[in-house]
Structure formats: structure tokens, C-alpha cells
Amino acid sequence: MATPVEAQITGSVWKIEKAVGDALAEGDVIMILESMKMEIPVEAPASGRLSEIRVEEGQSIEEGAVLAMID
Amino acid sequence: MFRRVLIANRGEIARRVIRACRSLGIETVAIHSEADSQAPHVREADRSVAIGPAPARESYLDANKILAAAAETGADALHPGYGFLSENADFADAARGAGIAFIGPPSRAIRAMGDKAEARRRMQAAGVPVTPGTGVVADADEAASAASRIGYPVMIKASAGGGGIGMVPCENETELRKGYVTATGRAKASFGDGSVYLERLVHGARHVEIQLAADSRGDVVHLFERECSVQRRHQKVLEETPAPGLARDVRDAMGEAAIRAARAIDYENVGTVEYLVAPDGAFYFMEMNTRLQVEHPVTEATTGVDLVALQIRLAAGEPLGLSQVGLRQQGHAIELRLYAEDPVKGFLPSPGTVTRLVWPEAPWLRIDSGIESGTKVTPFYDPLLAKLIVFGDDREQAIDRARTVIGGVVVEGVRTNAPLLARVLEDPAFRRGELAIHYLSQLLGRS
């Protein structure tokens, strides 16, 4: 079952650290968000394979937005 | 005196500078990004100029756009506030080159203190104590041999750095070698310069700083200290003056050393020397901030000196008009920094729209705020919403008043760190004045 990776905060995507197809362990940093001059890492909520990245670097995102999917 | 000042900043500090200009009869020009078009500072200034999109690098950090706005509006001076371009010597040069007075120190002084490793060397030469440490280290091997000479634990710091960015504490050589890679990488990414140096960590140290003011004739005074140990991730949360429990002779020696530091670099305008103070009273130069500090109001509240008006007068070439013997501190002042952070979610940033806002009122309370009811707090800039500055006859009264104030603040629509501030003010260790840089992490660790 696919697991969505959601944004904990409103901000923007600063840096994407993983690519589609990468194997992930729970807790691996997938991307780093930026909000109010703070960098906030987005960690994999579960182990699996990164099947989809739905955002681009520099893109603004709202809290709760789905950033990526893990299979 | 200047006729029209452009304020190259936003939020509470832009409003603070507008008030100071007004008190001196000077017209003001605000700049703003697209995200700030409805911000209070824009409405309060006599004129305003839109300078670009929301991201700071396309607006508040774009020197060319800011200087064009100054030229377009006929501003004869520019106040940089804090953060953004306030410690950018090239920006100061560019402004002055365009015939616009930069309300701040000479660019050579900004450069001298901007290179942190070089600043340490110059301070040492001027007889200002520095922690055992190094100049810039060439590689991990040199860092390792220097660290074994200085003694662990050490802190790796970015030479071009500030604000805690790129700092890595290391307990041993393994951590140091790993930390060297992290620190140089972060320094390169943040400042475009990967140079790092080492300093020995001072156990149980407090962060106490000295406010300075200097004129172009070479007169320098200090306006006493500010205790800034209550911080989280190198971000100050609460500041106060006088520093509780700081021996008078230590405080005087810190002030005198700060004056030596200013003289060593021919400093002009207001500035701040930050020190680490060890439990035994030994103090060490950390860095000098060549600008107005966020926490300047606690000094104003206890000395009666308007530091922003003083900055403007000094930049216009006026003499200091203050003497060290004539300066006195009266009472006690505490500043509470209200941040848009969610304490329940690990202090994550909390942007949003302020739907309801109630500030308490009292004759002993000053509020420097960047928000009003209806203000949109965006994710583009720092999370500081407002500063609540409480004055008391003594520390105990100031703390009691601060507790009343924080209990009376209502901010809806964004989450704030008010519960953390309340907790600090209620903490017996804080009330006893048992402060150190690790104070807040220990307090949070107890929960």
C-alpha cells in the first residue's frame, strides 16, 4: 500500500535529497523544506521505495500537502 | 541632519526606525516585497516602494533594487535594521558610493568583524580576551592536531559565519573529523566560503553582551550589558539587563574590553560585543555585531538613551553627546521575543493570518510589534512577531510583570512560543538567575 509523505509546515521545498526509485528506510531524509529561515527535514514515515515526488525545488507548499509517495 | 531615510528592512524593526525618524523630524521611505504590501511598516512610512517578489533574495536582499528605490525617492540616508544586508560591507560601500549615507559603521569595521577568524586575531592583539582557539584551519588533519593542543571539547565555527550557522561541537577526534566535513559544507552553502576555525568550548558559559556607541571623533562609550543566555538553537528568546549575579568588577572589565575592541577597529556608530562568560567570571570575546541588535530596547529602557535616534545622529556626523561617567542604568528590563513557532510541534514555524490580537497595556510595558490583527505571517522571513519589553524597579518586579504580560497576550491564527516564555518566567532556576547557554535545552529536556 502506498504511503503519502506530507508537509508538516507551510513553506517551500529547499532541496530534494532522494530520487524516484530510491530505497528508503524509515526516518531517511527525503527532502528539506524551508520556512521562516528554518530548514525542516522531511523524513520517510515508513520503509519502502520512493515511487513518486510531487513537488519541485523552490515550490511553495501548504501544511498537509502530499510531497511524495512511498510504495 | 538627513531629510529622508529609506528603511531597508521590514517587520517590527522597520516600524521602530520609522518612529525614531519621526522623533527627529525626518521623512521615511519603506520598501516592501509583494508578500508585505499590506504590512504595517508600509502604511506607516511617508512613502513606500515595492521592490520585488516575496523571497528575500529577490527583495530585501537585493542591493541594486534597494539602492534604486533610494535614488527614486530622493532618500539621503538608509537604515539597514538588523539581518538582511545590515552587515554587508559591499552594500554599505555601494550606498555611500551612490551618495546615500549608510546608518551604520564604516565598511572597513564591518569587514574587520565579519571575518570571524580575523576578528579573533585583532581582538587578541587589542588585549580583549578570546577563548583558546585557532585561525582558519586548512584541512581535517590540521583541525585534529590543533584540537588536541587546545583540548576537547571544541566548537568548529565558520569564519564567514554568524547566528550559529555552521557551528559544530565536537567531544573527540572522531567527532571532529566528521564535524569538519559538516561544518565546511554548511559554511560553503550558507556563506559561499568554507573556511572554518576552532574554539574551545567553555562549559556552563553564559552569553552576555555589551552595547557600544562611538562617534567619528573617536569618543566611545558602553551602555552596559545584556544577558542573552536564554536561547534555543542559537536563537535568543529572552534578554534582560542588568545581567543577574554578574559581579560588578567583571561587568566593568567587560565594558572596558569592549571599548578597547571598538577602538582597535576605529569603530563608529552603535555596535555590540558578544562575550561568553564562564562560571568563574572569566570572559571571552565571541563576536562583534556591527549593527543594531534585536534586543536593544532593554538597554533603552534602563538608560533612557534612544539607540536608533543615536545611530541616525551619529551617521549624520553629530558627536556622541554621552560620557561614560554620565551614563547610569536604572531598574531592570526584560525583553520577551514572541515567535510564530508551535511549541507543541517541536517549535516548527507557524505561518498564517493573525485573526485576533490583544496586547496588554501598562505604563511599564513597551511593545515593538510587526503584526496587527489581519496581518498575514508568511513563511518567507524570520518568525519574530513582536518584542514585549517589561520594565521593573528590580528583577523580581520585572519578572512578575512579565508573567502578567505574557498571560494577557492573545494571538489567534498563528501559534506562538508564548507558553515557553511563560514557563521560563515561572521556572525557579530562572528566577534565581541560574543562567547558561544550555539553560533552555535543559528546561525543555525536563518536560
Q: What is the pLDDT of residue B198?
A: 94
Among residues 364-383 of chain B, which lie with CB inside 8 Å of chain A?
379-383
Instruction: Name residue, grid cell 573529523.
Output: B177
Q: What is the pLDDT of residue B70?
A: 98
B189 to chain A, closest Cα gap in Å: 12
Instruction: Name residue, grid cell 530596547.
Output: B297
Using CA coordinates, name the residue in chain B closest to A59: B55
Q: What sign has the CA pseudo-torsion B263, B187, B296, B313?
A: positive
Q: What is the pLDDT of residue B186?
A: 85
Q: How does the average pLDDT of chain A come out, rounded? A: 94
Q: Which residues of A touch B383 (CB under 8 A)?
A: 36-38
CB contact under 8 A, A36 and B345: no
Using CA coordinates, name the residue in chain A closest to B84: A37
A67 to chain B, closest Cα gap in Å: 17
Q: Which residues of A touch B352 (CB under 8 A)?
A: 10
Q: In a mutagenesis test of the B interface, which of A15, A35, A57 is the best target, namely the one with the most B β-carbons within 10 Å?
A: A35
Q: A with B: how many residue pairs have Cβ under 8 Å apart?
A: 37
Q: Long-range pairs for B427-434 at CB < 8 Å and ≥24 separation?
A: B430/B230, B430/B399, B431/B396, B431/B399, B433/B244, B433/B245, B433/B395
> Is the ipTM above a cut-off of 0.85?
no
Q: What is the pLDDT of residue B447?
A: 56
> Could you count the other beta carbons within 10 Å of the beta carbon of residue B10?
28
Low-confidence ranges of chain B (pLDDT < 50): none
Residues 6+ apart with CB under 8 A from B35: B54, B376, B378, B380
Instruction: Give percent above pLDDT 90 in chain B.
Output: 91
CB-CB contact of B168 with B161 (8 Å): no
Q: Which residues of A touch B382 (CB under 8 A)?
A: 36-37
Q: How far apart are CA B55 and CA A58, in angstroms?
A: 10
A3 to chain B, closest Cα gap in Å: 21
CB contact under 8 A, B379 and A40: no
Q: What is the pLDDT of residue B117?
A: 87
Q: How far apart are CA B201 and CA B244, in angstroms?
A: 22
> Which among A9, A12, A60 has CB closest to B348?
A9
Q: What is the pLDDT of residue B165?
A: 74
Q: Which residues of B touch A37 (CB under 8 A)?
A: 381-383
One-character DSSP codes across B351-385 = -EE--EEE----TTEEEEES--TT-EE-TTS--EE
A36 to chain B, closest Cα gap in Å: 5
Q: How far apart are CA B78 and CA B21, in angstroms?
A: 11
Q: Which residues of B touch A60 (CB under 8 A)?
A: 379
Quick one: angle between helices B307-315 and B296-303, nearest 10?
A: 100
Using CA coordinates, name the residue in chain A closest to B83: A37
Judged by a CB distance cut-off of 8 A, whether residue A1 touches chain B is no
Q: How far apart are CA B186 and CA B158, in angstroms?
A: 8
Q: CA B273 from chain center: how many Å?
A: 11
Judged by a CB distance cut-off of 8 A, whether residue B349 touches chain A is yes
CB contact under 8 A, B381 and A11: no
Judged by a CB distance cut-off of 8 A, whether residue A48 touches chain B is no
Q: Which residues of A touch B345 (CB under 8 A)?
A: 8
Q: What is the pLDDT of residue B160?
A: 86
Alpha helices in B242-340 (DSSP H): 248-264, 296-303, 307-315
> Which among A8, A36, A60 has CB closest to B340?
A36
- Residues A12-27 have a mean pLDDT of 95
Q: What is the pLDDT of residue B163?
A: 64
CB contact under 8 A, A8 and B382: no
CB contact under 8 A, B351 and A8: no
Q: What tens digit of pLDDT does each residue of B175-222 get?
A: 999 999 999 988 888 788 899 999 999 989 999 999 999 999 999 999
- C-alpha cell belonging to residue B93: 560601500
Q: Report the predicted TM-score, pTM, of the whole model to 2 decimal places.
A: 0.92
Instruction: Name residue, grid cell 577597529.
Output: B265
> Which among B352, B379, B383 has CB closest to A12?
B379
Q: Which residues of A touch B370 (CB under 8 A)?
A: none
Instruction: Name residue, grid cell 518567507.
Output: B380
What strands, in cross-sheet order, belong to the sheet with B365-369? B283-289, B269-277, B206-214, B220-232, B235-241, B332-339, B384-392, B365-369
CB contact under 8 A, A8 and B345: yes
